[in-house]
Structure 1
Amino acid sequence: MTDGPPPRATRTRALPRRPAVRLTELGFGGSQGGNLYRATTDEEFAEAVDAAWAAGIRYYDTAPHYGLGLSERRLGAALRARPRDGYVVSTKVGRLLVPSPEQARRRDPEGFDVPATHRRVWDFSRDGVRRSVQESLDRTGLDRLDVVYLHDPDEHWEQAATEAVPALVELREQGVVRAVGVGMNQSAMPARFVRETDVDVVMCAGRYTLLEQGALADLLPAAQERGVGVVVAGVYNSGLLSRERPPDDAVYDYRQAPPELIDRVRRIAAVCETYGVTLPQAALAFVRSHPAVVSTVVGLRGPGQVTETLRRADVDVPTELWSALRTAGLLDAPPPD
C-alpha cells in the first residue's frame, strides 16, 4: 500500500526565476497579526503560527503596514525557534514607519486596532527601500528576507520602477533578499512590472478569484511568458467568498458589498453545492489551478482559522464545476487545463 499525496499545505512550488525559493501552495497571511479590524493577542497569533507549522505551511507573509510593525514583530517571534532554512518569509517596502508620539493616544486610522504611535510615509526611493528592509530585519529578528514586495505602488510607478526595484535587486545580489516582487490590488500595473522590470514574483490581491478574473487579460499571461511566479492573495475578495452563502452585510474590497454582487455570489454558491463543494472550497481550488500561480496566501488569525482553511484547501473540486459556472454566465473564463 502506498501513501496518498501530501496535503496541499505541504506541497511546494518554486519561483521559476529563483528555483531555490520554494513556497508552500498555501501561505500564511500575517495581516491579522497586525490586529486588522480587531485585536488579536500575542498568544492567539503564536498559536496560529504553531498550527500552520504543524500542518506543513512554510510560507509566511507580513508587512510593516500591518499594525505599524506589530505583525512583523509577532511573526519573527513565532518563528524564532524554527530552523531558518526551513521556511520562507516575505515582507514589503514602500511605507516607512515614522514615529508620531503626538498621536499615540489615538488608534491607527488605517484599519488596524493598534495605537497610532507611527505614521506611514510613502517612500520608494533607493534609500527608503534600504531603510525599510533594515527595519523589517530588526523587527523580525531575521538575518535575511526571502521575498520583498513593493507594497501598493499604484501612484508611484516612476520611482518604484527606477529606484525601488533596482535597490531590491542590489540587495538580492548581496544575499539580503532572495527574491524581488510587487504586491498590489490590481493586475494592470503588476503586469507592467513583469514586462519592464527585474521582478521574480507578483502578489495579486483580489483580481484573480472565483468572482473576478481580470488578471487573465494581462498579469497571468505576462507572468507565464516571463517566468514570474504569481502569489494570489485576497482569494475571498475581502470576505465575500469566505462563507458558504454570503450574508447581506458581506464585505467586498474592504467595503460593504453591493446587493447585485452578493446575489451573483449566492448563485455561484448554489452551483458549487450541486457539485458537492462549498463556495470557499471552490474559491481556493479555482486560483491554484492556473499554472502561473505558485501559492495562495490567506490571512489567518488563530488556530481555528488555520484548521478550517487547511480543510477547505485539501478538498478535490471536480473540474466540471468550472464549465457549469461558465455556462451559467458566472465565470468569465475557466482555469487552464
Structure 2
Amino acid sequence: MMTGDRLPPTYVEGFHNRDDVMKMKYNRLGNTGLQVSVLGFGASSLGSVFHETDDDEAIQVVYKAIKSGINIIDVAPWYGHGKAETILGQALRDIPRQAYYLTTKVGRYQPKLDEMFDFTAERTMRSVNESLQRLGLNYVDIIQIHDMEFAPNLDVILNDTLWALQRVKDSGKAKFIGITGYPMDNFRIKMSNKNKLTTITGVTISQEKNVAVMNAAPISMGLLSNRGPPSWHPATDDIKDACKEAAKYCQDKGVDISKLAMHFTLDHDEIPTTFVSTASLSILESNLACVHEKLSTLETNTMADVMNRYFRPLGNKTWEGIEVANYWRQLETMKN
C-alpha cells in the first residue's frame, strides 16, 4: 500500500491537489500493474439511478474526486441507459487522461425486459464503441461483463462475450478484461490463457490466481443510508427493515450509518479498491474523509451495536439470486 511516501503514476503536476494525493491510500490491483486509490468513484449516480441529480454538480463531483486523489472510475451503459457515461464524458473533457483509470461494462443495457441483456459478440463489440463515443475516449483501462449471471448460460459468456472482449483488447480499446456480479460460483469459470480475466468486481470474494478484486456498493445501493434504498432494490423486506431500523438507531445516537458502512469496507486491507457512488459534493467530501479519519469511540461502539442488534440476526442473508429469478420468471410470462 502507498500512503504518502510517493506519488502514484496517475499524479499530474499542475492538476492534482498534491497534499490530497499524498494522503490518499493506493494499492496494487492484482497483476495489472495499476496502482489504484483505495476509494474508487462509482459513476452510477451520474445516471440518476438512485434519485434525481443535478448534472452540473455531478460534473463538479467527478472533477473534485480526481483532483483529490481518486484515480479509478467505474461506469456502465446500464447506469441511466447511457446517461452516466454521457455525463462522465463531459466531466472528463477537463481532466488529463493520465490522471485516472476507467472501467466500463458490456451486457446490460435497456430497462425493457427483452432488451435488458445481450451478451452476443456483435452487441458486445458495438457496445464498446458506443461507450467510447459517449465517454469521449479512445480506450478504457478495464472492460467488464456486466452481471453475467443473467446470461442464458456460461457458454455464451465463454464463447461469445469473452471472445469479443479479447478482440476489443487486441485492438487497443481496452487493456484488461473483467467480470461483475453476485454468484460466487460464476467466478470459478475456466478460461483459456488467451481469454484470461484480470479483474472481478463483486461483493465479498477472495483473490485467487492473480485476479484483482474490486469491491462495489459499500452503502449497499442505499440500504445503509438515511435516505433508504430506491424502489427497485432487490433486497427482501426483512433485510430492508433491518437496515431501516439500524439507520434509525444510528440517527438516535448522532451517528451516520453510511460513514460506518464506509469504514467497515475500507478497513478490509485485502480489498484494493471500493467504488462508492455519489453526485453530491457534500457526500463526496464525507466519503473522502472516511479514508483519512478514524471512527470515534461512539461510532465504533455504535457499529458494534448495529451489527449485534440488526445484522447478525439476519445470518449473512443477501439478495443473491432474487433479481435473476424474477428476471427469468417475468421474461417467461411475457413470452407466454
Q: Structure 2 length normalisation: TM-score?
A: 0.72
More off after superposition, 173-182 vs 131-140: 173-182
Query: 1:44 is matched by which residue type in structure 2?
Result: E
**Are 1:93 and 2:106 an aligned pair?**
yes
Query: 1:299 is matched by which residue type in structure 2?
Result: S
Give the 3 Å change call, closer, same or farther, for CA 42–252 of structure 1 in structure 2. Answer: closer
Q: Could you tell me how far 1:252 is from its partner in structure 2?
A: 9.0
Give the 3 Å change call, closer, same or farther, for CA 75–250 of structure 1 in structure 2. Answer: closer
Give the 3 Å change call, closer, same or farther, for CA 239–87 of structure 1 in structure 2. Answer: same
Q: Could you tell me how far 1:282 is from its partner in structure 2?
A: 2.9
**Structure-2 residue corresponding to 1:17:** 31
Query: 1:131 is matched by which residue type in structure 2?
Result: R
Query: 1:15 is matched by which residue type in structure 2?
Result: L
Give the 3 Å change call, closer, same or farther, for CA 169–109 of structure 1 in structure 2. Answer: closer
**Distance (whole Å) between structure 2 residues aligned to residue 199 and residue 192 of structure 1:** 11
**Structure-1 residue corresponding to 2:214:** 231
Identity of aligned residues (%): 25
Q: What does 1:235-314 align with in structure 2 at a 5 Å threshold?
A: 235-243=218-226, 254-255=233-234, 258-259=237-238, 262-263=241-242, 266=245, 278-314=256-292
**Distance (whole Å) between structure 1 residues aligned to residue 37 and residue 55 of structure 2:** 24
**Are 1:161 and 2:158 an aligned pair?**
yes
Give the 3 Å change call, closer, same or farther, for CA 22–253 of structure 1 in structure 2. Answer: farther
Q: Could you tell me how far 1:132 is from its partner in structure 2?
A: 0.9
Give the 3 Å change call, closer, same or farther, for CA 273–56 of structure 1 in structure 2. Answer: farther
Of 179, 197, 200 in structure 2, the residue corresponding to residue 199 of structure 1 is 197
Say if 2:4 and 2:25, in contact at 8 Å, map to a contact too. no
**Distance (whole Å) between structure 2 residues aligned to residue 257 and residue 109 of structure 1:** 23
Q: What does 1:76-155 align with in structure 2 at a 5 Å threshold?
A: 76-95=89-108, 120-155=115-150
More strand by share: 1
**Structure-1 residue corresponding to 2:171:** 174
- Secondary structure of the residue that 2:258 maps to in structure 1? helix
Q: CA deviation digits over 1:204-238, x for unaligned, max 9?
A: 1xxx4xxxxxx3xxx32xxx221212111121122
**Structure-1 residue corresponding to 2:59:** 46
Q: Structure 1 length normalisation: TM-score?
A: 0.72
**Distance (whole Å) between structure 2 residues aligned to residue 264 and residue 145 of structure 1:** 36
- Secondary structure of the residue that 1:168 maps to in structure 2? helix
Say if 1:29 and 1:297, in contact at 8 Å, map to a contact too. yes
Query: 1:35 is matched by which residue type in structure 2?
Result: S
**Distance (whole Å) between structure 1 residues aligned to residue 223 and residue 257 of structure 2:** 10
**Distance (whole Å) between structure 2 residues aligned to residue 151 and residue 230 of structure 1:** 15
Say if 2:117 and 2:150, in contact at 8 Å, map to a contact too. no
Say if 2:223 and 2:229, in contact at 8 Å, map to a contact too. yes
Q: Could you tell me how far 1:265 is from its partner in structure 2?
A: 7.1
Of 83, 89, 104 in structure 2, the residue corresponding to residue 70 of structure 1 is 83
**Distance (whole Å) between structure 2 residues aligned to residue 256 and residue 127 of structure 1:** 33
Q: Could you tell me how far 1:279 is from its partner in structure 2?
A: 3.1
Q: Could you tell me how far 1:322 is from its partner in structure 2?
A: 12
Q: Could you tell me how far 1:177 is from its partner in structure 2?
A: 0.6
**Structure-2 residue corresponding to 1:113:** none
- Secondary structure of the residue that 2:272 maps to in structure 1? strand
More off after superposition, 276-285 vs 138-147: 276-285
Q: CA deviation digits over 1:19-70, x for unaligned, max 9?
A: 1x33211111111211214332331211111221232212111111112211
**Distance (whole Å) between structure 1 residues aligned to residue 117 and residue 109 of structure 2:** 6
Report the aligned-residue RMSD: 3.7
Structure 2: gaps (5+ residues): 6-18, 317-336
